[in-house]
């Protein structure tokens, strides 16, 4: 059974909505209008949370409510809005009641820095490692305890979820993954050696260990979505199958359709 599953609450009633918005004037005005029409409750007491903004706000909201089982329905008041539905004020309760709900499992990242301190963070899109200076990074990559790449000289690399495969991963020429695929994308960023290595697809149960070689001369930072740690020497990444966030899409324009559209965009 896939770790990422879909459930449809077609016909269910969502009576209590919470509205959250980004700081832009457009998003704040939308929040005021929708709250006046549909009322509003505290997010922790709601049947669903309506996020008004762009993909950044959706990621922040998903992070804030991981594990609560409160579904989040986004409407685009930002720029790209790949994770958002079309903004319309009318018929919102009906749209939410008929939306598809997708469970997203985040990545768990554990880092060790140059002082031996350990930190953990979760990522819904990707875990990325990047060089901190003009010096290229030197990385050793292991999968499930076995070294698979002895040395990667690069600007960095990333491990992306299906949800994040259309974000930074796609910009780094990584593969787009269907949302229900039990896979992770391991993608290099500007690889210099081996020049022809383009990354790999891993089962979502895999554990990826990335060791920073020569961290004194070639320091590296590691980020789980927007949370960054600097001067790391070791990073371990795996999917947290026991934790999820719920995201909602209109049934007539679900994630499958969005992924297919992106795959054939030119």
55 known ligand binder:
yes
Kind of pairing, strands 156-160 and 220-224? unpaired
Helices (H), 65-162: 92-97
224 known ligand binder:
no
18 known ligand binder:
no
Name the residues annotated as catalytic. Answer: 55
Residues 97, 50: Cα–Cα separation, whole Å? 12
Of the candidates 181, 185, 180, the residue with the CA atom closest to the CA atom of residue 170: 185
Helices (H) and strands (E) in the chain, counts: 5, 18
262 known ligand binder:
no
- In this structure, what is the dihedral angle of CA atoms 155, 204, 238, 163, given to the nearest 10 degrees? 60
155 known ligand binder:
yes
The rounded Cα 6 to chain-centroid distance in angstroms is 17
103 known ligand binder:
no
36-42 long-range contacts (CB < 8 A, ≥24 apart) are: 37/89, 37/92, 38/92, 38/93, 41/16, 41/17, 42/18
Phi and psi at 27, nearest 5°, equal: -70, -40
Which run of H or of E encompasses 73?
strand 72-76
231 known ligand binder:
no
126 known ligand binder:
yes
Residues 266, 262: Cα–Cα separation, whole Å? 9
169 known ligand binder:
yes
List binding-site positions for NAD(+).
55-56, 125-126, 155, 163, 166-171
List binding-site positions.
55-56, 125-126, 155, 163, 166-171
């Amino acid at each position: 059974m896939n770790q990422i599953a879909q459930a449809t609450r077609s016909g269910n009633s969502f009576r209590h909505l919470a509205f959250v918005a980004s700081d832009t004037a457009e998003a704040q005005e939308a929040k005021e209008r929708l709250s006046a029409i549909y009322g509003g409750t505290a997010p922790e007491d709601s049947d669903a949370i309506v996020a008004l903004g762009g993909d950044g706000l959706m990621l922040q909201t998903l992070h804030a409510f991981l594990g609560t089982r409160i579904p989040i329905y986004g409407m685009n008041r930002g720029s790209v809005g790949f994770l958002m539905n079309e903004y319309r004020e009318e018929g919102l309760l009906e749209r939410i009641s008929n939306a598809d709900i997708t469970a997203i499992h985040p990545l768990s990242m554990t880092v060790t820095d140059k002082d031996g301190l350990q930190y953990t963070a979760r990522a819904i899109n990707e875990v990325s490692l990047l060089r901190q200076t003009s010096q290229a990074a030197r990385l050793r990559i292991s999968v499930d305890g076995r070294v698979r790449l002895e040395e990667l000289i690069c600007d960095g690399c990333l491990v992306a979820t299906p949800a994040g495969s259309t974000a930074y991963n796609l910009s780094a020429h990584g593969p787009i993954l269907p949302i229900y695929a039990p896979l992770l994308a391991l993608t290099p960023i500007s690889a210099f050696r081996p020049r022809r290595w383009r990354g790999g697809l891993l089962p979502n149960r895999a554990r990826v260990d990335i060791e920073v070689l020569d961290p004194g001369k070639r320091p590296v930072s590691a980020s789980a979505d927007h949370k960054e740690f600097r001067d790391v020497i070791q990073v371990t990444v795996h999917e947290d199958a026991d934790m999820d966030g719920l995201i909602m899409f209109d049934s007539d324009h679900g994630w499958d359709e969005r992924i297919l559209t992106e795959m054939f965009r030119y």
